[in-house]
Amino acid sequence: MDSPESMDTQCNRAITDDELPSDPVERAQHLERRLARCKLARDLTREFVSTTDMKRLMGVIFQRVLEAINAEAGSLWMVDWRTRESVCHQAEGPAADKVLGLRLPLGKGVVGKVIQENSPQVVLDTTRDERFAADVDKTSGFTTKSMICVPLVVDCHVYGAIQILNKKSGFESRFTNDDFLLVQDIAGSAAISIKNARLLESESKVKEMGILLRISRQVSSTLDLNQVLGLVVNMTGELVELSLGAVGLLDESKNSLMLAALSGETSIDAGDSRQKAMLALMEKTREAGRTVYVRDRESYTRQMRGQRTVWLEYLEGNGLESVWAMPLSDEEGQLGVLWFESATPGFADGGKADLLSILANQTAVAVRNASLYQRVPFAETLGKVAERGQRAFAGWRKWAVAGAVALVLLLALHLVPRFRSFTGDCEVEARLGYGVFLQVAGTVAEVVVKEGDTVREGDMLARLDPAPLRLRLTQASSQLAVVERKIVEARAAGSAAEVRRLAAEREALRAEAIKAGADLGKVDIRAPRGGVVLSTGLEELVGASLPVGAELLRLAESGKLTVVVQVPEDVVMDIAVGQDVVGAVRSAPNLRFRGRVAHVGRSYSLPAEAAESSGNGESGEIGREAFVAEVEVTESEVALRPGMSGKARVATPGVSVVLRQLRRVVNLLAFWLGP
């Protein structure tokens, strides 16, 4: 077996034996081939810049590169920094299906070393290279003889590597310098495109999550079932490209679905043939108990091998390309089916399907709460009471009985502690929290927490890439050794001035080495004290280069959450510090939190959902609220998180509902009559 030195010699010879031939004909042919490859690199670079669909583009580019180089196979590997693995994202060649998705520990194989060391490699004979991972060939059944492997690098950040395998022509089927340069050019353009595609993807995700959050807030802010369903089917069009959205709810008496909402101006018509067909497909989705997604008619037809199905007939009959449907269910059982259809193929591809699934789950919660609210037999009970009352009040005693009943109700409303309270909208706040700042500049290698995580003092939050700091330490130590040697030589030569100059340089290098060592100990970012993570989108920080003092994320002390209750002006005088408070948040309406009023004052902010709501059961128009009561939570059955909203009841022992309503009447008359 050849030594590593002989292998390097062979590699260098292979990629430098491409000098211009002396024969004019051969020289012309050689220059034509080189020109053709330069044009190919230019064309592929233009294609990279013109699109962000990297999966489709890389397939086309690999085919053209393999044809130009006359190679047998190729693959694109990306780094998963979270698991520290190299992952095959794209593959072309005889064993592409078996290699695609393969994961290798970072540093394993030639491709792993190229990524880890950020150094391109040409391997002429894999059997003589100890870095080669032979088990990959055993798994795929493909025989790798030679390869070019080039890292994908932008601004010193390695995203992955491109690998070209087995040259099929030329002298001893060896890769040439032109082949190597072509792959390098493509790798540079591909790395920039991958970086841009990820930035666009991150921006798109932030926008989509903002839309989803807005929809969720509006859906969870009402108990009107029709309003919930209308918001879901109409606002989802802002998230994905839709032709129609619909909700079918379960009629428990018939154990079948009924159309409850359609998007746009479309009205529900039991006799409409399209709506009947849609409802039948919803029933199939409910019976299957899982999400159904037909991406596009063409691929679905191939998948069914020409067999006609009701799904295909529905799509063709209504000029549609794609449909997505998911059962609405919770712990108590099925509620219905959420349905979206589109004339755009693949409208729910990628992360869009996950967003729709989240929306479906939140819709199920909102539908269940609204349904429970509507089922409260308050109106029916009042009707029965009224019917009995009419019979009881018949005759000459009806007015006396009515007066007695009214008096009893008023006394109950005045004396029962339940009615000596005020109920208002509330929101959990963490104030501003505190920031975690970088003590050393560097590139974020991994972030191990996400929004909402609870951390303890000293827990790992993130890690910076230690490689640059190790390089600084190594360079400073090497330079220090050189200076030490020069000092010895200067002393031997009797040059006192040179010794003094070198001594000053030595002290500077020692300081640099000490600082580099200290900075290396700061790459692990840990929580200065316990709390809850407030920052969002932390996974997007991976790969970002941050300066010293940059804020990495924000934490809030978990025990210092404050519940802020909106208080109308005509009730603020009834609220005092120390009054008991009990409440619930919308995400867990059956669980309670308790506390005491810590402060009453002017409102510093008014949540948009509160301003848009129609009001609560007691305070009239929310839009007139200008005061808040800050509640210190003493115990809670639910883990409160910043941003949660719900209802809170403040005990007002000195004022009952009766007195409060009477005061409002008096105040109204006073305003009418004037001073």
Percent of the chain with pLDDT over 90: 10
546, 601: one domain: no
Q: Is residue 395 part of a domain?
A: no
610 pLDDT band, cuts 50/70/90, is: very low
CA of residue 348 relative to chain centroid, distance? 16
Q: Would the pTM count as exceeding 0.85?
A: no
541, 576: one domain: no
Q: Decide which of 356, 375, 394 is a domain's last residue.
A: 375
Residue type, 47: E
CB-facing half-sphere around the CA of 327: CA atoms within 13 A:
16
For position 240, which CATH number holds?
3.30.450.40
314, 346: one domain: yes
Instruction: Tell me the residue ranges of DSSP E strands in 12-96.
Output: 71-80, 85-92
How far apart are the C-alpha atoms of 670 and 63, rounded to whole Å? 85
How far apart are the C-alpha atoms of 616 and 610, rounded to whole Å? 10
How far apart are the C-alpha atoms of 2 and 6, rounded to whole Å? 6
Q: Decide which of 502, 525, 556 is a domain's last residue.
A: 556
**In sequence order, what are the beta bridge partners of 294?**
323
pLDDT digits (tens, 9 = 90+) for 314-349: 988 999 999 999 999 888 888 899 999 999 898 888
Q: Which of 118-122, 140-144, 294-298, 653-657 has the lowest mean pLDDT?
A: 653-657
Q: Is residue 206 part of a domain?
A: no
Residue 1: per-residue pLDDT: 38
Helix/strand/coil for 162: strand
Q: Is residue 570 part of a domain?
A: yes
Residue appearing with tokens 């919308």: 586
585, 538: one domain: no
96, 130: one domain: yes
State how beta strands 333-342 and 531-533 pair.
Answer: unpaired
41, 172: one domain: yes
Q: Is residue 155 part of a domain?
A: yes
Residue 546: per-residue pLDDT: 86
Q: Decide which of 507, 535, 556 is a domain's last residue.
A: 556
> Within 10 Å of residue 63's Cβ, how many Cβ atoms?
12
182, 37: one domain: yes
284, 309: one domain: yes
Domain tally, the chain: 4
Q: Is residue 216 part of a domain?
A: no
Q: Residue ranges of the alpha helices (H) in 236-338? A: 273-288, 297-303, 310-317
**Positive or negative: CA dihedral 37, 43, 46, 47:** negative
Q: Is 615 left (phi over 0), alpha (psi -120 to 50) or beta?
A: left
Q: Which residues contact residue 632 at a Cβ distance below 8 angstroms, ignoring those fewer than 6 apart?
A: 562, 595, 596, 597, 598
404 pLDDT band, cuts 50/70/90, is: low
178, 38: one domain: yes
Nearest to 123 by CA among 222, 218, 10: 10
Q: Is residue 565 part of a domain?
A: yes
Three-state helix/strand/coil letters over 132-175: CCHHHHHHHCCCCCCEEEEEEEECCEEEEEEEEEEECCCHHHCC
Residue 49: per-residue pLDDT: 58
- Which range of residues forms the domain containing residue 627? 421-430+561-673
Q: Is residue 396 part of a domain?
A: no
354, 483: one domain: no
pLDDT digits (tens, 9 = 90+) for 40-79: 667 666 666 555 556 666 666 677 777 778 888 888 888 8
251, 189: one domain: no
pLDDT digits (tens, 9 = 90+) for 222-280: 788 888 888 888 888 887 888 899 999 988 888 888 898 898 877 888 888 898 999 99
587 pLDDT band, cuts 50/70/90, is: confident
How far apart are the C-alpha atoms of 12 and 5, rounded to whole Å? 11
User: Does the structure show a pLDDT above 70 at 116?
Assistant: yes
171, 240: one domain: no
For position 583, which CATH number holds?
2.40.30.170
The sheet with strand 454-455 has its strands ordered as 434-437, 551-556, 531-533, 454-455
Q: Is residue 383 part of a domain?
A: no
In whole numbers, what is the pLDDT of the chain averaged over residues? 78
